[in-house]
Amino acid sequence: MLINLDTADERPLYQQIVDEVRRALVLGTLAAQDPLPSVRALATELRVNPNTVQQAYRELERAGIIYSRRGQGTFVADPGTGERALLLRDVAERALKDARRYGIEPEELAEAVLRAAQLHPSTPSTASVP
C-alpha cells in the first residue's frame, strides 16, 4: 500500500491516511480481505506518531472499511456500496474549495473540467510524484 502524506495539506495526517486507504480501495490496489500493515510498521514507514496511525485505523474500522482480528492483524472488509460516491464527493469538495480561492463559480469549474478532459484525455497527474 502506497501512502502519500503532506504536512501542508488541509487535512490532518490521520485523515490523509484514511483517505489514502479509501483511494486504494476504489483503485483496486487494495481488495477485500487484504491485510493492512501493523500500526508500528506503517508508523515507521511514514515517520508519523503511532497514535496517528491508530486513530486512522480506528476511523476506518468505525466506517466498516477495515476490521481487526485479535492476534492476526487488520484486514480490508468486504466493500460497501457507497465507497466510490464518497470519494467522489471528497474530491469535488476539495476542487470547489480551490475554485473559491480563485473566485471561480461551481458551474464554471464543472465546464472547465470537462473541457480540460477533452483536450488532454487521461493525462496522468504529476502533482503527487516527488
Partner 1 sequence: MSFPTLPTRLDGVELAIQTRAVTKRYAPDAVALDGLDLQVPAGAVYVLVGPNGAGKSTTLRVLLDLVRADRGTASVLGISTTAQPALVRAQIGYVPEVVDTAYGWLTVGGLLKHHAAFYHAWDWAYADALCKRLGLRMDERFRALSKGGARRVALVTALAHRPPVLLLDEPTDGLDPLARDDFGGLLVDHMADAPTTILWSTHHVHEAERMADHIGVLREGRLLLQAPVDEVRGGLRRYRAEVPDGWAGAPGLNGDVLVRARAGREITWTVWGDERHVAERLSASGATVRDAGRLSLEDAALALLRAGEAA
In whole angstroms, the minimum distance from the beta carbon of 87 to partner 1 comes to 22
Nearer Cβ to partner 1 (102/128): 102
- Is there a contact between 71 and 32 (Cβ–Cβ < 8 Å)? no
CA nearest neighbour of 64 among 51, 76, 52, 73? 76
Q: Compare residues 8 and 129 and give the one whose CB is closer to partner 1.
A: 8
46 binds partner 1 (CB under 8 A): yes
Yes or no: say if 42 and 53 are a contact pair by the CB < 8 Å rule: yes
**How far apart (Å, rounded) are the C-alpha atoms in residues 86 and 127?**
22
Mark the segment that binds partner 1 (CB under 8 A) among 21-29, 39-47, 87-95, 119-127.
Answer: 39-47
Q: Which stretch binds partner 1 (CB under 8 A): 27-35, 47-55, 56-64, 111-119?
A: 47-55
Give the Cα separation of 78 and 18 in Å (integer). 16
Per the structure block, which three cell numbers stand in for 100?
A: 473559491
- Residue 8 exposure: Cα atoms within 13 Å on the Cβ side: 1
By the rule CB under 8 A, 115 interacts with partner 1: no
Instruction: Mark 55-94 with x for binding to partner 1 (rule: CB under 8 A) and - for no binding.
Output: ----------------------------------------
CA 108 – CA 99 distance, rounded (Å): 9
Q: Which residues bind partner 1 (CB under 8 A)?
A: 5, 7-8, 10, 12-13, 39-40, 43-44, 46-52, 97, 100-103
